[in-house]
Amino acid sequence: MELRQLAYFVAIAQSGTITAAAQKLHMSQPPLSLQLQKLEEELGCPLFERDTRHLRMTPSGELFYERAQGILQQCADLKREMADLQAGGRGLLRIGSVSSLNTTLLPRWVALFHNSYPQVRLELTERDSYQLLELVRNHRIDLALVRRPFSGQGLEIHPICSEPMCTVGQAHFFQGLCGPIAPSALANMPLLLYRRWEPVLMRYFAEVGFEPTVLCCSEDSRTALRLAQEGLGVACAPLSAARDLWPGAEMHPLQAKELYSEICAVTLRGHYTGAAAKNFIAFIQETRQESNLYKS
């Protein structure tokens, strides 16, 4: 059994026909059919059920497909690992990030990292947390920068830093208030939430015994902050996002340990993580105090 036979089999399974697989592999159909026949003879079982149009995997074929994908991924990881060893501080680093970091902490981290590793080329992707975690699981990005909570099944989680959720709005909403405030102070304020944190905030408010007035719930913290700038209400957003997107705004951290946003780097557990990704994670962990999250 050869690696190329595994690659041929996976291509056939994904394409559904030998003709389509041959086109994908840039080869003619007869030798591809011959390689599949040899593979089945060596294994001693059929891998596909054949009809006039399509191939359908047998139970043996489904198991072999799963194992073949794993072997081919391990080979790809090994090639990348060898390339990393040769490249050192060079190579490609694919980073995914949630929007609340893309316009705040991530640009600073990338700029500082580039100063230390100028030969590393970066590809940046912005998605929501759940989409980014799927991209990690599918090997489409090397690491994701997301905020907890999320399901970490199959993932390696690298804590970076934690920051409080803040209330942000025009000054007249906060008359008589200064510094950090208790969540109960929001009882009579029209709130602008973003959906990622809406369940956490609403659950917490219910636990402490009051029902807030939610004027608007949006998909992005930036939208909530822009609406607050227009005077529609008070936005709830992570401290770094609030400071960077609305400098000089009236801002009050919420006094509740349950309402802290933890920023994490996420990689795929049990798979090779490239040197550039490891360097980036270690770098931002070491320099997280330089982000000045809590300094006024």
Residues 76 and 98 occupy one common structural domain: no
Residues 23 and 78 occupy one common structural domain: yes
pLDDT at 86: 66
Parallel/antiparallel/unpaired status of strands 250-253 and 48-50: unpaired
Low-confidence ranges of the chain (pLDDT < 70): 52, 85-88, 289-296
pLDDT at 187: 83
Under 8 Å between Cβ of 46 and 60: yes
pLDDT at 88: 59
The CA dihedral of 30, 36, 41, 44, to the nearest 10 degrees, is -150
Residues 122 and 45 occupy one common structural domain: no
pLDDT at 93: 93
Residues 255 and 275 occupy one common structural domain: no
Residues 19 and 64 occupy one common structural domain: yes
Domain that holds residue 277: 88-159+266-291
Under 8 Å between Cβ of 260 and 271: no
One-letter-per-residue 3-state SS of the chain: CCHHHHHHHHHHHHHCCHHHHHHHHCCCHHHHHHHHHHHHHHHCCCCEEECCCCEEECHHHHHHHHHHHHHHHHHHHHHHHHHHHHHCCCEEEEEEECHHHHCCHHHHHHHHHHHHCCCEEEEEEECCHHHHHHHHHCCCCCEEEEECCCCCCCEEEEEEEEEEEEEEECHHHHCCCCCCECHHHHCCCEEEEECCCHHHHHHHHHHHCCCCEEEEEECCHHHHHHHHHCCCCEEEEEHHHHHHHCCCCEEEEECCHHHEEEEEEEEECCCCCCHHHHHHHHHHHHHHHHHCCCCC
CATH of the domain at 7: 1.10.10.10
Under 8 Å between Cβ of 290 and 282: no
Residues 198 and 230 occupy one common structural domain: yes
Structural domain tally of the chain?
3
Residues 141 and 93 occupy one common structural domain: yes
Residues 102 and 129 occupy one common structural domain: yes
pLDDT at 87: 63
pLDDT at 263: 93
Residues 14 and 144 occupy one common structural domain: no
Residues 198 and 123 occupy one common structural domain: no
pLDDT at 222: 86
CATH of the domain at 275: 3.40.190.10
| Burial classification of residue 276, based on how many CB atoms lie within 10 Å of its CB (0-12 exposed, 13-18 middle, 19 or more buried) | buried
State the angle between helix axes of 275-287 and 105-116 in degrees (0 to 180), rounded to the nearest 10.
Answer: 120
pLDDT digits (tens, 9 = 90+) for 262-277: 999 999 998 888 888 9
Under 8 Å between Cβ of 21 and 8: yes
Residues 137 and 270 occupy one common structural domain: yes
Residues 272 and 154 occupy one common structural domain: yes
pLDDT at 296: 37
Kindly state whether residue 167 falls inside one of the protein's structural domains: yes
Kindly state whether residue 193 falls inside one of the protein's structural domains: yes
pTM greater than the 0.75 cutoff: no
Under 8 Å between Cβ of 79 and 216: no
pLDDT at 71: 94
**Listed residue (146, 104, 178) closest to 262, CA to CA:** 146
Kindly state whether residue 255 falls inside one of the protein's structural domains: yes
Kindly state whether residue 296 falls inside one of the protein's structural domains: no
pLDDT digits (tens, 9 = 90+) for 196-221: 888 888 888 888 887 888 999 998 88
Asked if the bond preceding 183 is cis, omega within 30° of 0, the reply is no
Alpha-carbon span 241 to 222, nearest angstrom: 8
